[in-house]
Amino acid sequence: MNLIATTPSERTTPAQVEPIDGEVFRPRERIKSQTDFNRVGRFGRNFNGNVVRVQWSPNESVGPDVTCTRLGIKAPKKHIKRAVDRNLVKRRVRDVFRKNKSRWPARADVVVYCSAATLAAPYAELEREMLYWGREVVPRVAERDAEKSAAAAARSERRGRNGEKGSRAPRRTAGGDEDRAPPARGGDASESAVRSESTGAVATAEE
């Protein structure tokens, strides 16, 4: 009897991708790499709440295996001493995440930082704050970023047109240097109790 040899690649069947619909939390929905934690910490947007701090960053360019919003949780030992309490706040955050998937930004890596305030807060307060972040903060930050991108594109287009026409030397007064009013200085207007802004913090390995 003749036996046909097969290569390992021919014997391997393609891996099945687990569905993430519904109130589930699959392994592919979890941020595991320290590189990804660092990327979100360096380039992500920031939300400082009363119960948690949230950072998030788009993950479309991370790789072909990343096709959904992913969650990472930080519960440092220096803020939450007991391991049982650290596990408790992580379970609560995961539970809020899996039960409200439609409320989070699409195709993003989300890192939630827990503290003693997270442990002390009731579950309902944690859920309310995370839902506020997804419903109010994320769209507002996205709109602000879109406006900045549009303004930058308009400036670039104007510079391109001016470059084609040729630059003109600035007009000077008889005294030599131009007299210009100094830029107004003053503090930025304070935002609401919760702040959304860029941050340069780098996440460290999960305790």
The domain ranges of the chain are 24-156
Under DSSP, the state recorded for 77 is: T
Q: How far is CA 94 from the centre of its chain?
A: 17
Q: How confident is the model at residue 2, as a pLDDT? A: 54
Please state whether the predicted TM-score (pTM) of the whole model is above 0.85.
Answer: no
User: Dihedral sign, CA of 36, 39, 40, 41?
Assistant: positive
Q: How confident is the model at residue 162, as a pLDDT? A: 79
Cα separation, 170 vs 167, in Å, equals: 9
Termini Cα distance of the chain: 59
Q: How confident is the model at residue 63, as a pLDDT? A: 86
What are the structure tokens assigned to 38, written together?
């660092």
For residues 92 and 52, the answer to whether their CB atoms sit within 8 Å is no
- Ranges of the chain whose pLDDT falls below 50: 9-14, 174-202, 204-207
Q: How confident is the model at residue 159, as a pLDDT? A: 84
> Which option is the CATH number for 24-156: 2.40.30.10, 1.10.1060.10, 2.40.420.20, 3.30.230.10?
3.30.230.10
Q: Which residues contact 58 (CB under 8 A, 6 or more apart)?
A: 107, 108, 109
Q: How confident is the model at residue 70, as a pLDDT? A: 96
Q: What is the phi/psi pair of residue 58, to 5°?
A: -60, 145
Cα separation, 206 vs 192, in Å, equals: 30
Q: How confident is the model at residue 125, as a pLDDT? A: 97
